[in-house]
Amino acid sequence: MRFDIVTLFPELIHQYFQYGVVKRAVENQLISVDTWNPRDYTADKHQTVDDKPYGGGPGMVLKYQPLKEAVLAIKKQSSAKSRVVYLSPKGQVVDNQKVKELSELDHLILISARYEGVDQRFIDHCVDEELSVGDYILSGGELPALVVIDSVSRMIPGVLGCDESANDDSFSAGLLEFPHYTRPEIVDSMAVPKILLSGNHQAIAQWRMCQSLKLTHQRRPDLLKLREFSKEQTQYLEDIE
């Protein structure tokens, strides 16, 4: 899958891909990541990419033309059908379902804004979708772009090495993930739950499902309204309540 990020600070993006899962994904050519600086698509000697907002008010607004030219340059270089996403607090909040949807695409162009945002005409003319990573404000769109790339990459077969890892993650089944334990068996007088040492895979799977239901009920009960449950799961939830 191809990711292109339009950003005034490409170094912030490139540093992230020097580590961990995403680094291996790039090296194994499962994903590709490139950055495009709007300053390279300006016409004046100062490479001006922003200006004061019409109507007054604080801050600066990113100009239409440099952003548009950057997107056109990206599309010209790619034969794949692309989706242009503007990272914005006004967008749809990204959830696991949206991540799955994006992972099925061939090409994402992510617009990382700064200052007060971008000229609305760029959004109207060039952007396919606005996405948010939460109901809070950040200094720029680089971190949200990295969040989207990281979460989407994990859904691509081969990126995690063991594809079952993504299936067990929180939200993958509409629930929070069950607790994990590792060696030693006892630490500071706290023991690993005996069921995990039993070797009974069916019983372990059932315990993990119950733990997921319990955690979700305690911390994110809103998620329980979004899925259907088996008889056994329904009974367990009733017992919790």
**116 is a catalytic site residue:** yes
169's tokens:
């993650």
CB-side neighbour CA atoms (13 Å) of 102: 27
C-alpha 81/C-alpha 10 separation (Å) is 23
Instruction: Give the residues across from 92 on adjacent strands.
Output: 131
Contact between residue 108 and residue 82 where contact means Cβ atoms under 8 Å apart = yes
Active site residue 44: no
The one catalytic residue in 2, 10, 83, 89 is: 89
34, 129, 169, 177: the active-site residue: 169
Q: Residue 49 is encoded by which pair of tokens?
A: 């990419």
Cα(78)–Cα(74) distance, integer angstroms: 6
Active-site residue, 169 included: yes
Tell me how many degrees the CA angle 222-143-56 measures, rounded to the nearest 5: 95
Calculate the alpha carbon distances from 33 to 9, 15, 64, 199 in Å. Answer: 14, 12, 24, 42
Report H helices in the chain.
10-16, 20-27, 64-77, 96-103, 120-126, 142-153, 164-168, 201-219, 221-224, 231-240
Q: Which of 34, 69, 116, 130 is catalytic?
A: 116
Is 89 designated active site? yes
Q: Which of 38, 50, 142, 154 is catalytic?
A: 154
Assigned token pair, 50: 């922003």
Q: Which residues are catalytic?
A: 89, 116, 154, 169
